[in-house]
Structure 1
Amino acid sequence: MIEHSQFLVNLFFWFYSAACILPLVLVIVVSFSDEKAVLVHGYNFIPEAWSMESYKFMFKDWHQILRSFGISVYLAVVGTAISLVVMALYAYPISRSDFPHKNFFSFFMFFTMLFNGGLVPWYLVYTQMLDLKNTLAALMIPLLVSAFYVLLLRTFFANSIPMALIEAAKIDGAGEIRTFSQIILPLSLPVLASVALFQVLNYWNDWFLSLVFISGSKNINLQFMMYKTMLDIQFLSSNVQASQGLAAAGGVLKLPTETVRMAMAVLGIGPIVFAYPFFQKYFKKGLMVGAVKG
């Protein structure tokens, strides 16, 4: 009976895994399919005709793709590293029972989860007070601190780091900075890796900040570049005047729409997939330990 139940559980997860993987496989296959075949026959795991036109179309402006890709990688790596340091430095003091103002600062952080100043004041702060418009800092700073992740780190520090260990370090002459950097952080790798994974995803998938703060194409990230390209394709494909103007100039409106959308998805998710194996061994443990107790 136990073996039968185990088989059913394994079978369920096999089907569940296939349901998660097959759509990704379909996206990759369609991106290498011929545009006309997709429009006529629809999406197929075995395409009627293979084609690289969608990737050739995308990489015609390979300089912009390379620049936007580099910006996305820079934001994901540097932004995540700074974000972890800032959030850990905030979470550690409010996790200490001997810190007299921990309740105030905990509530201050929790309050930001419930209320915010609104989009217009938020925009004015970054563009007029801080003068960060059209800079990479405008794409990094708004995502540096997440109240939820700060409280997650605080919970881990409070429940998983013994106070006796901190007191022993103090007796041995270690200051707060040395205790934090050489004892607390090495013991907190599971939760730090879990938060780092979420922050990498946040920075990599963000396109809204480029839309709001960046004018022009110099400092846009990869996600917004693909979003903007897709909008341009849809406009040219559906606008009659644009088609007539292109035809009058001697051009032919031959734009891949379905296949290039899938190619952009492959280009967007491809690099970030490699982040999961790096964080995998810490991910589950960090989430479980950091969220068991409130």
Structure 2
Amino acid sequence: MPTDSIGQVGPIQAPPSGAAERTNQETQQLFDLTGRRALVTGSSRGIGAALATGLAEAGAEVVLNGRDEAALERARRALAERTGATVRAAAFDVTDAAAVQQGVERLGPVDILVNNTGVQHREPMLDVGVDTFRRVLDTNVTSAFLVGRAVAAGMIARGHGKIINVCSVQTWLARPGIAAYTASKGALAMLTRAMCAEWASHGVTANGLAPGYVVTELTQPLVDDPAFDAWIRGRTPAGRWATPEDLVGTLIWLAAPASDFVNGQVVAVDGGITAVI
């Protein structure tokens, strides 16, 4: 029970009439993306498609991105039918500076950017070719630099914007055979902090979302490998793989007004894998 300044029990004060309703409405608005335009790169399938779905369900107008126009159109139709939201498709190569600039200019103002495009490569470091290493870094890091910079120019001019870079538990952890990927995700985390350092004073937040091991089409062979599956389940305190939908709540928070004072952070959504040895 509440006490006054000398430790005696004081009366419980009832909230003013209507206060609870106003509080509930204000809380809901913290996570409302109605009227915001969100660009999600690499979003025709997998994690990107799930993140785009979450943004659409939270009220955002979503722009899907990828290089395959046919795949993008299929994803656009499916998402629009599922959510009833306005969904657009923008096909351009996020590693091509000129294509990025032209693509972003065609879109108009973007309030939320999710840099999700990424590629994995599994090969011992002694065998990885220089061109392969550069391709992974270009896809995972340079793309975020190019799209982030192109979109941020408009955000800065308008005084607000949200950038979410999809990192990984490999931002902090390494294992044999994925040197290029690990290096790229570590670099992406520091690029996120650099974005914060340069753009926060203009009303732009830049944060990272770091998934653990997620079941997707690309990881299904690992899920189907009994030894690797057992290793992941044993290594993860939650005892399971993540699903793409596990990432949506944190994404919405980072994209919404609720996180306006969160900047330059990388948030792990990993079932606890980075919390234990």
TM-score strictly above 0.5: no
Compare relative contact order (CA 8 Å, sep 6+) and give the higher one, 1 or 2: 1
The structure whose residues are more often helix, as a share, is: 1
TM-score, structure 1 as length reference = 0.29
